[in-house]
Amino acid sequence: MTAPLPLCVIGGGVIGLRHAEVCEASDRVALTALVEPHAPRRDELAARGLPVVASIAYVPTATRAAIAATPTQDHHASTLAAFERGWAVIVEKPTAATLDEARALTSAAARAGLPFYTGHHRRCHPFARAARDALAEIGDLVGVQGLWSLRKHDAYYDADWRRLPGAGPLMTNLSHEIDLLRFLLGEIAEVTALTSSARRGFVIEDTAALALRFDRGALGSFLISDAGASPWSFEAASHENPAIAGSGEDYIRIVGTEGALAFPSLTRWGRSGPGEIEWSKPLARINGPAFARVDPLLAQLDRFAAVVAGGADDVLCTGEDGTAALEMTLAAALSGKTGRPVRRGEVPGDYTGV
């Protein structure tokens, strides 16, 4: 086995701490430092026994890679600083605050010849990878319907910044869904969004309904809300996040010319007999396989370490894929503001979604 990859985590907030804990659980990496500029937070992290430092300048020179888990507006600066030190990088989603910044990062990584990924970790679940294979069984893609609705607790909005433009579910939660849809179904050509703040009454939206057009000709709809209580979301379906109650309920349905697929259970409906598949004939139900639960952040980290060691990977979200997910997330935000469809290529490079 190759030696563990010396890696640092930039940012000691909730997500940065989670990444640091995953690093310590992996035998593929060795955590060299956790970078946190805020002194009181550094003291808290040091009390946990973590190798915390005040800035990138103090990260041990043996370090070869980094996870950038700073606030979104700092993704560009932190990732560039890592590239300047010759480090491969996973940057937390979204890749950057704007398309211009995200594209600058992918260009910088290419010039330096460094692996660069965006932390869309849902791809690393075994059922996400298996779904791509299962889609081949339902014929040509016709459409997709998704519903993500988790009621965030009232105290979540006690922090002022969580009520400010850009903090609603479109910019906070949607990018994971966009990346997953692209991973499964291919490029999104156009998005139209309706937004509402009727339930919470904040300046930000609490609910959005999207209409999607895919390059392959399929159409889709997606409802996303942080005000509606439901069992339907990726987190509830997968039991991924210990802070969110699990339900095991599918939250995406995909329809093809030969059948349909529910996600993430991979329950499939298809041919029950010979001849044309049509509405007078019942569809046969095929239950999906059972999958062992994994920590997707750990799976992502181990895949990343393997790439830095010289391996190849077709699951991790590349910087380019992360930029594409950011583009269509911003397109949804722009559509919600303008009331018109927004196609790929129409989002201004400096647009932040606000």
Strand ranges (E), the chain: 5-10, 29-35, 52-53, 65-68, 88-91, 116-118, 141-149, 188-196, 207-214, 219-225, 252-256, 259-263, 268-270, 284-286, 317-318, 342-343
Q: How many C-alpha atoms does 321 have within 13 Å on its Cβ side?
A: 23
- Reported residue count of the chain is 354
How is the beta sheet containing 52-53 ordered, strand by strand?
A: 52-53, 29-35, 5-10, 65-68, 88-91, 116-118, 317-318
Enumerate the H helices of 85-156 as residue ranges: 99-112, 126-134
Cβ proximity of 173 and 226 under 8 Å: yes
Q: What is the pTM of this model?
A: 0.94
Tell me which residue has tokens 């830095």. 308
State the Cα–Cα distance between residues 15 and 121, nearest whole angstrom: 13
- pLDDT at res. 354: 83
**5-118 with 126-292+327-338: one CATH topology?**
no
Written as one letter, the residue type at 339 is G
Rounded to 5°, angle at Cα 319 from 315 and 325: 80
State the Cα–Cα distance between residues 205 and 225, nearest whole angstrom: 9
- pLDDT at res. 204: 84
State the Cα–Cα distance between residues 240 and 228, nearest whole angstrom: 20
CATH 3.40.50.970 for domain 126-292+327-338? no
- pLDDT at res. 1: 58
CB-based burial of residue 235 (10 Å sphere; 0-12 exposed, 13-18 middle, 19+ buried)?
buried
Tell me which residue of 257, 265, 323 sits closest to 289, measured CA to CA.
265
Cβ proximity of 5 and 65 under 8 Å: yes
Question: Domain spanning 5-118: which CATH class is it, in words?
Answer: alpha beta
**Domain locations along the chain:** 5-118, 126-292+327-338
User: What does each of the 354 residues of the chain score in pLDDT, given as a tens digit?
Assistant: 588 999 999 999 999 999 999 999 999 999 999 999 999 999 999 999 999 999 999 999 999 999 999 989 999 999 999 999 999 999 999 999 999 999 999 999 999 999 999 999 999 999 999 999 999 999 999 999 999 999 999 888 887 778 877 778 888 889 999 999 999 999 999 999 999 998 888 888 899 999 999 999 999 999 999 999 999 999 999 998 888 999 999 999 999 999 999 999 999 999 999 999 999 999 999 999 999 999 999 999 999 999 999 999 999 999 999 999 999 999 999 999 999 999 999 999 999 988
Q: How many C-alpha atoms does 73 have within 13 Å on its Cβ side?
A: 5
Each residue of 66-124: pLDDT tens digit?
A: 999 998 999 999 999 999 999 999 999 999 999 999 999 999 999 999 999 999 999 99
Enumerate the H helices of 139-281 as residue ranges: 169-172, 174-185, 234-238
